[in-house]
Amino acid sequence: MVAYEQLLSLLGRERELDPKAMEQASARWDQLAKPVGSLGLLEEVVVKLAGIQGCPDVRIAKRVPMVMCSDNRVLAQGVAQTPDQITAAMAGLIADGRSSVCIMADRAGVDIVTVDMGMFTPPAHEGILNRRIAAGTADMTLGPAMSREEAKRAIMTGVELAEDMKASGYDILVTGEMGIGNTTTSSALASSLLGLEVESVTGRGAGLSDQGLVRKVQAIQKAKLVNCPDPKDPLDLLHKLGGFDIASLCGVFLGGALQGFPVVIDGLISAVSALLATRFCPWARNYMLASHQSAEPAAQAILQTLWLLPLIRAGMRLGEGTGAVAALPLMDMGLAVYRDLITSEAIGL
């Protein structure tokens, strides 16, 4: 296990994708009996995976969504219409295999790891990994959401979990989260990272009313005014405006890059975490794949900033990793064509 300072040192050593493997994968696509480039992003994803894995024989047989669960005391500002008990309840359902993402994951043939990063109430459930930093973050409208040390611990937890998943033989990581109030923290970070007005990046989350949306915008504006986060310092942004789920997912993206591990972005919360990760380590973007474009207002701007195109545009905003899991069967179909389609030469073309 490395320390935070060691992590920063490791991230300073850029790791590039394998150009030969990508060239070979592109050549394979061009040999197949179909119009060149006709599968669009599915072809690009396979080529990128080849570069990440260092081999044109791409494999994503064993995959795992990691659902990071935590709560945020900015809920006191009336930024959500859902009761705060729902995070622990949903985390239990996920661990039991009974939530939305579990049903989708069963179809996609993937395992799920549920992690308590800092829910208000720790669930008594053996299937949930205990990586708690604290019982939720502080109310960011009154001061920093967490200390700098807590932010570092949460990041390192994500890095370590990525290492564990790699050691367990997984080929690809899928990001997910559960936490009431986390679209508020995500929108606050998106506003600061992108340099955009709060109103333009803040959405309704889990069905917020008009009045609730006004309170949400005002809470984010107040948090930025009270904390004066430095947009050039990702750790400063994270500890003042973030959540334990975002911090740990940021660590997952960083850990994935260090392990040479593809990591799939889900919706707004994981997209913000991915963007934050690139502020720590720009080349971490090479190991990211975009699954879908969330219906939240900031989603498109974040993906554009990351120079990533989503496989799916379905207006999803559920979280839990559902969008990322939904993209896996598309990747499977692309890989099936890549491996099994006859070549043009073989049919005399």
Q: What is the pLDDT of residues 259-301, one digit of tens each?
A: 999 999 999 999 999 999 999 999 999 999 999 999 999 999 9
User: Is 320 one of the catalytic residues?
Assistant: yes
Residue given tokens 């930093």 in the structure block? 133
E strand or H helix that includes residue 265: strand 263-265
347: its two tokens: 């049919």
pLDDT reported for residue 85:
87
The chain-wide mean pLDDT, for the chain, equals 95
Higher pLDDT, 307 or 82: 307
| Structural domains for the chain | 4-57+337-347 (1.10.1610.10), 63-329 (3.40.50.10210)
Task: Give rounded-to-5 percent helix, strand, coil for the chain.
Answer: 55, 10, 35
Length of the chain, please? 349
d(CA 328, CA 311): 10
Find tokens 């300073």 and name the residue.
12
* Separation of alpha carbons 12 and 323, rounded Å: 31
Residue 126: how many other CB atoms lie within 10 Å: 6
DSSP assigned state of 38: T
Average pLDDT over residues 184-198: 97
Asked whether residue 255 carries a pLDDT value surpassing 80, the answer given is yes
Q: How much is the pLDDT for 8?
A: 85
Q: Which of 43, 296, 320, 345 is catalytic?
A: 320
Task: Answer whether 50's CB lies under 8 Å from 24's CB.
Answer: yes
In this predicted model, what pLDDT tens digit does every residue of 115-153 receive, in sequence order? 999 999 888 888 999 999 999 999 999 999 999 999 999
Please determine, for residue 56, whether its predicted confidence score (pLDDT) is greater than 90: yes
Q: Out of 50-59, 79-88, 178-187, which region has the weakest mean confidence (pLDDT)?
A: 79-88
Share above pLDDT 70 across residues of the chain, in percent, rounded to a whole number: 100
Is residue 7 over pLDDT 90?
no
